[in-house]
Amino acid sequence: MAAKSNKSDFDSIRNDILNRRFLPVYLFMGEESYFIDELTNLLIDNVLTESEKDFNLLTFYGIDSDVNQIIAAARRFPMMADYQLIIVKEAQNLDKFELLDLYLKKPSSTTILLLSYKHGTVDKRKAVNKKIASLGVIFESKKLYDNQIPSFITSYLKAKEIGIDVKSAHMLTEFVGNDISKLIPELQKLEVSLPNPPLPRRITADLIEKNVGISKEYNNFELLNAIATKDIYTANKVVFYLSKNSKNNPIMSTIAILFNYFSNLLECFWLTRKDEQSVMNALNLRSSFFARDYMAGIRNYNANKVIDIISELRTVDAKSKGIDNISATQGELLKELVYKILH
């Protein structure tokens, strides 16, 4: 097996697995199941050939398994293969998980043990955690923030030799949020709708509108741009559409996007220099495209107005949840909110 690596990020682990640099034990844990499943499938596909899997791929489920049973299996030798791969799924439900430390004191050189520990993490103070860290890899799969999703979409599609423009990536982010389990099926749906190679394959706003059901003109992404540029006509058109379709466009999503924008915009007013590069550095933006709305906001608003807007966003958020609101609908609240922002 490969020498111990200190790198525990997704790309490094993926690269090591693809290059068959295996370690005796892997602990994949955390809240985001997608990355755990991806790395698990990579090990399944790369450790053993199809014929070797019949005798050397063993899968246990935490809720139904006994630690001693898993240890006994891990100490066996592979049959007609260099390794055996033992996967413990739902390891968070494994009773006496910490007893795996007994095996890890002297792990088999021909066994690769994978512990899939979802929706939580192993206590770092436990001896078993420290032992895994010294022998193998611990990867914590965290939920991505909303602002990380466009980059994830771009990278996911790039791996499949599919292009996507920034606006389209943001449209999908706004529609799905940071729930990757919902995002992947939408991306797969779009992939299927593309022409087959060798034609260049690229996802566009038109394709998303047709296959996912997001309007390329009337969405929170376009509303934010209209508010930033103080394009009252466009803002009113988008608000009218969103208000008529509040079931698919809940006001809470709009408030969250606007709150994030104006909170960041307020930070921009305290910058010594307010040029594009300074804004990008302060907000940790990856390209000038993302700075566009902030540069427009700096031109069209001032700090006092932004403070008032943030206060109004908090008020409308409370009203949308029924606080101090007897009868106003989501659509009515949205119209009033945008009017107060723009005037």
Q: Where are the domains of the chain?
A: 10-141, 146-211, 220-342
At residue 24, does pLDDT exceed 80?
A: yes
What pLDDT sits at residue 4?
54
Measured distance CA(235)–CA(22) in Å, rounded = 54
What pLDDT sits at residue 167?
82
At residue 311, does pLDDT exceed 90?
A: yes
At residue 142, does pLDDT exceed 70?
A: yes
37 vs 221, higher pLDDT? 37
Provide the β-strand partners of residue 87: 59, 114
* Mean pLDDT computed over 117-130: 88
Measured distance CA(188)–CA(67) in Å, rounded = 38
What pLDDT sits at residue 159?
86
pLDDT band at 174 (very low <50, low <70, confident <90, very high): confident
Q: By C-alpha distance, which of 126, 63, 59 is closest to 99?
A: 126
| CATH 3.40.50.300 for domain 220-342 | no
What pLDDT sits at residue 178?
83
* Mean pLDDT computed over 122-140: 90
Helix (H) or strand (E) holding 117, with range, is: strand 111-118
* Mean pLDDT computed over 204-232: 86
What pLDDT sits at residue 38?
93
Give CA separation, 66 vs 95, 100, 108, in Å.
7, 10, 19
Percent of the chain with pLDDT over 90: 61
Measured distance CA(149)–CA(272) in Å, rounded = 30
What pLDDT sits at residue 3?
52
Peptide bond connecting 198 to the previous residue in cis, omega within 30 degrees of 0: yes
At residue 199, does pLDDT exceed 80?
A: no
What pLDDT sits at residue 6?
45
What pLDDT sits at residue 75?
95
124 vs 70, higher pLDDT? 70
What pLDDT sits at residue 307?
96
Token pair recorded at residue 295: 């540069």
| End-to-end C-alpha distance for the chain, whole angstroms | 66
Strongest mean pLDDT among 110-114, 160-164, 174-178, 317-321: 110-114
Helix (H) or strand (E) holding 139, with range, is: strand 137-141
Measured distance CA(17)–CA(46) in Å, rounded = 7
Location of structure tokens 């192993």: 122
231 vs 198, higher pLDDT? 231
Instruction: Give the chain's mean pLDDT.
Output: 90
105 — alpha (psi -120 to 50), left (phi > 0) or beta? alpha
What pLDDT sits at residue 31?
92
Exposed/middle/buried for 167, CB within 10 Å: 0-12, 13-18, 19+? middle
* pLDDT, tens only, 236-273: 999 998 888 777 788 998 998 899 999 999 999 999 99
What pLDDT sits at residue 111?
97
CATH number of 146-211: 1.10.8.60
Token pair recorded at residue 271: 């910058």
146 vs 226, higher pLDDT? 226
Q: Residue 105: how many CB atoms within 10 A of its CB?
A: 9
pLDDT band at 193 (very low <50, low <70, confident <90, very high): confident
CATH number of 10-141: 3.40.50.300
Measured distance CA(187)–CA(213) in Å, rounded = 13
Which residues, at least 6 apart from 192, have a Cβ–Cβ distance to it below 8 Å? none
At residue 278, does pLDDT exceed 80?
A: yes
Q: What is the phi/psi pair of residue 271, to 5°?
A: -70, 140
What pLDDT sits at residue 244?
85
Contact 127, 98 (CB under 8 A): yes
pLDDT band at 19 (very low <50, low <70, confident <90, very high): very high
Token pair recorded at residue 169: 């990536």
- pTM value is 0.70
Measured distance CA(8)–CA(136) in Å, rounded = 9
Q: Which long-range contacts (CB under 8 A, 24 or more apart) does 120-123 make?
A: 120/29, 120/30, 120/31, 120/92, 121/29, 121/30, 122/27, 122/29, 122/97
